[in-house]
Amino acid sequence: MSITAYDRVKTARDIRRPTAANYIRSMFLDFIELHGDRSYADDRAIMGGIARIGDMPVTVIGIEKGQNTKDRILHSFGAPNPEGYRKALRLMKQAEKFHRPVVCFVDTSGAYCGIGAEERGQGQAIAENLMEMMTLKTPVISLVIGEGGSGGALALSVANKVWMMENAIYSVISPEGCASILWKDADRAAEAADVLKLTAQDSLYNGIIDEVISEENLGTEAFYFALRDKIEMTLRELSAMTMEELLDQRYEHFRKIGRPLV
């Protein structure tokens, strides 16, 4: 018993954990990666493209941290730049046009923090995704697979269904950042992790997410098989809704959070 919140933080960040690329390549058929935001660059921290789940064409987008140290540098450790969010939005708009559902895999310590990111409008890029995702006329599922780091994670998580892996975390600030603000001591991150209520179990309890996905057999064929089935079934359910129901359901998912009980 008693897995602490900080144990989850460490597990969520573990380099051996499956990344978005593993999920995408293990669950979807004929994945074709599509690159670039058509305006500035291709951000390797976000991978996206088209694929099939069973017979159903889908757009898949994932924040990719990279598989090893060298790969991680290439992918900016999964910290997207504005062009990454703009690529994601381009692919989501494309999905809307062709009536494909969207599946997002979220795994980032946060949006890239740098001079270039600010010059190219990191805040604006995230804001635009939040706005546009809310009314995207196609079903959207987002799954936080590792770290759900603040606005940089939310920018791919305005979805009809938001799920988290059992050991994933989702937080407004890193526990280290919180500890240094609160106690001027980043070493008290474990305590901060506790008070931030950043685990999947807390997020479910607080009504922020819809479901916690078991990590039993994580990364095995059986694991991906079961998860793929679940995604496919959920997409079919969402596709059966009218467009108005679908968009109202997504709006209400976020609208209710922090609405006072009167």
Partner 1 sequence: MGIMKFLRPKNELESGGRSSLPEQQAPSEPDITCPNCHKTILISKLRASYGTCTCGHHFRMSARNRLSFMADEGSFTELFTDVKNTDPLEFPGYKGKLEATQRSSKEAEGVICGTAEINKYKCCLFIMEPAFMMGSMGTVVGEKITRLFEYATEHRLPVVGFTVSGGARMQEGLFSLMQMAKTSGAVKRHSDAGLLYVTVLTDPTTGGVTASFAMEGDIILAEPGATVGFAGARVIEQTTRKSLPKGFQTAEFMLEHGFVDAIVARPSQKKVIAAILRMHKEGK
Site string for partner 1, 134-163 (x = CB under 8 A): xx--------------xx--xx-xx-----
Cα separation, 243 vs 102, whole angstroms: 15
Q: By CB under 8 A, is residue 65 in contact with partner 1?
A: no
* CB neighbours of residue 222 within 10 Å: 10
- What is the nearest approach in angstroms of partner 1 to the Cβ of residue 17? 21
Q: Which is nearest to 33 in space by CA: 52, 61, 55?
A: 61
* Residue number with CB closer to partner 1 (95 or 208): 208
Q: By CB under 8 A, is residue 72 in contact with partner 1?
A: no
The H or E element spanning position 117 is helix 115-119
Judged by CB under 8 A, the residue of 196, 200, 227, 246 near partner 1 is 196
Q: By CB under 8 A, is residue 20 in contact with partner 1?
A: no
Query: In this structure, what DSSP letter does residue 262 have?
Result: -
Amino acid at 227: L
E-state strands within the chain: 29-33, 46-53, 56-63, 102-108, 140-149, 161-165, 169-171, 211-213
* Residue number with CB closer to partner 1 (9 or 198): 198
Judged by CB under 8 A, the residue of 59, 76, 167, 171 near partner 1 is 171
Q: By CB under 8 A, is residue 222 in contact with partner 1?
A: no
Judged by CB under 8 A, the residue of 1, 32, 115, 243 near partner 1 is 115
Cα separation, 248 vs 262, whole angstroms: 22
Cα separation, 4 vs 202, whole angstroms: 12
| Binding to partner 1, residues 236-255 (CB under 8 A) | 250-251, 254-255
Residues in touch with partner 1 (CB under 8 A): 111, 113-115, 117-124, 126-128, 130-132, 134-135, 150-151, 154-155, 157-158, 170-173, 178, 181-182, 195-198, 203, 206, 208, 250-251, 254-255, 257-260, 262
